[in-house]
Amino acid sequence: MSWIHRNDVIAAIEYLMNSKVLRGIFNLTSPRPVSNAEFTKQLGSALARPTVLSIPGFIVKLLFGEMGDRLLLHGQQVIPKRLLDNGFAFQYEHLNDALRASLR
């Protein structure tokens, strides 16, 4: 599952707008995607609350088919390759840091 902290979105947009050479499409996501289960676990930890029970994979497949399995259970793991290749530095690469900063 791809995610990004709002400060990194703003910084990336500013970085791209100020560049004289970078053009085209850029993925604005953290360079460290996580699984849906990991996201839920870390969010629960950051909120100091228990996480909700997960739905078994076979039920997701039954209700939503193969696409549901790919999107809901595995997610899309997009990497910001062009940003990284061009030297952009993320402030929040790790989900737990981003969640804690967002909850301050």
Cβ distance 54 to 37 under 8 Å?
Answer: yes
Cβ-Cβ contacts under 8 Å for 30 (sequence gap 6 or more): 2, 3, 4, 5, 8, 80, 90, 92, 93, 95, 98
pLDDT at 53: 66
d(C-alpha 27, C-alpha 35), whole Å? 18
Q: Percentage helix, strand, coil, to 5, in the chain?
A: 55, 0, 45
pLDDT at 74: 65
Averages of pLDDT over runs of 10 residues in the chain (104 residues) are 95 98 96 88 90 73 75 77 98 96 91
Please state whether the predicted TM-score (pTM) of the whole model is above 0.75: yes
Token pair listed for 33: 């995607």
